[in-house]
Amino acid sequence: MDKESIQEISQKLSDVMPGKCLMVRYSAGRREPDSEYTEQDLPSDARIKIITYELYPGIEISYNYFSADRFHFHHCHRTSALAIDHCCRGRIGWEMGDGLSLYFGSGDLSFHMNTKCSDSVITLPLGYYEGLSLSLDMDILEEHSPELIREAGIDIRKLCLKFCGKKNVAALPASSHIEHIFSEVYNLPEKMILPYLKLKCQELLLFLEMTEPAETCSLDPYHSGQTEIIRRIHDRITEDLRRRYTIDELSRQYTINTAALKAVFKSVYGLPIASYMKHYRISRAAQMLRETDESISSISASVGYESQSKFSKAFKDVMNILPTDYRKKMLVNQTLTRE
């Protein structure tokens, strides 16, 4: 896990009580926001904050900050509304009402009709998520479209349906074009937020108007039953890091073919299973190097490496530093912090 990302999102959620969802809304024409805790039934350790700005009639954009493993979320939207979600960091999975699950991660862009997620289960494979949601109400926008959209001749309803298609859910993987649009919107000075979001909203719609889904390698949704199996597999392989499992072994134990296991695992957790486990082991080892006095040989064995030399190589591959040097660096940082 990205320790820095976890710390930054925790800071942004510092004013949210555990087990609560704080909604902050800036309505058009009003300087002060409305803030309230919703009645969501969340796990006791979950914290959610959603800050919404009304940009134009029929267009809203929200900053989303989530800290949790999994939670049920209910929200009401008009049936004509489409949500476009951009993930800044973390990963998120939406279990839609029709039994499909869509997972996406840093830099990815997803689309879904709001009727699909009005009552859904949200999973955060990494335990955190930060992103933006753009909501487009097709009925309102057909009557009151921003001037630039009218000048470009964009048919909002056609644009929305182009990406969702019959499944009403789709996603585009991270690209330089998507990064260009969103790279500057997450850390704006307060007085620049509204004008900048209006600019970027129109830029995004123009980009989507010029993009054909068939030209991109879209992310696939999977049946929720498959993603549930993958979560159980994840729990098994991370339970005891001394134990290593083969794909064939897991495939037999959980009655899922190897191709599906590999494809769905990568969709849910963002990496092939071998790469994910390497990063997971090293992340746990880094935590132990920071927080314990255990020897490096003991730590390497506890995270599943048969020799210290193999562990040191893997650690440097992931962290760009040898474990001995990493521990020394952390000790210096801790000393400076105390002083």
Query: pLDDT tens digits for 260-306?
Result: 999 999 989 999 999 999 999 999 999 999 999 999 999 999 999 99
Alpha carbon distance, N-terminus to C-terminus of the chain: 28
Domain that holds residue 313: 223-338
pLDDT of 302 reads 96
Q: Please, is 169 exposed, middle or buried when counting C-beta atoms within 10 Å of its C-beta (0-12, 13-18, 19+)?
A: buried
- 114 shares its domain with 147: yes
| 166 confidence band (pLDDT: 50, 70, 90) | low
Among 201, 220, 239, where does a domain finish? 220
Residues 6+ apart with CB under 8 A from 76: 118
C-beta of residue 135 within 8 angstroms of C-beta of residue 77 = yes
Q: Of the residues 202, 220, 238, which one is the last residue of a structural domain? A: 220
The token duo for 51 is: 């800050």
Question: What pLDDT is stored for residue 106 in this prediction?
Answer: 92
Q: For position 131, what pLDDT does the model report?
A: 96
Q: Check whether residue 190 and residue 261 sit in a common domain.
A: no
Q: Grade residue 218 by pLDDT with cuts at 50, 70 and 90.
A: low
Question: Mean per-residue pLDDT for 217-242?
Answer: 86
User: Alpha-carbon distance 263 to 229, whole Å?
Assistant: 13
**Same-domain check for residues 62 and 198:** yes
pLDDT band at 19 (very low <50, low <70, confident <90, very high): very high
* Exposed/middle/buried for residue 91 (C-beta within 10 Å: 0-12, 13-18, 19+): buried
d(CA 302, CA 197): 47
What is the predicted pLDDT for the residue at 156?
Answer: 82
In this model, does residue 215 exceed pLDDT 60?
no
Number of separate domains in the chain: 2
Rounded Cα gap, residues 78 and 256, in angstroms: 38
Residue after which a domain boundary falls, among 162, 185, 220:
220
Q: Does residue 96 contact residue 227 with C-beta atoms inside 8 Å?
A: no
Q: What's the pTM value of the predicted model, to 2 decimals?
A: 0.84
Residues 187 and 246 in one domain: no
- The answer to whether residue 154 scores a pLDDT higher than 90 is no
Average of per-residue pLDDT values in the chain: 87
The number of beta carbons lying within 10 Å of the beta carbon of residue 210 is: 8
**259 and 150 within one domain:** no
How far apart (Å, rounded) are the C-alpha atoms in residues 201 and 259? 38
pLDDT the model gives residue 113 = 77
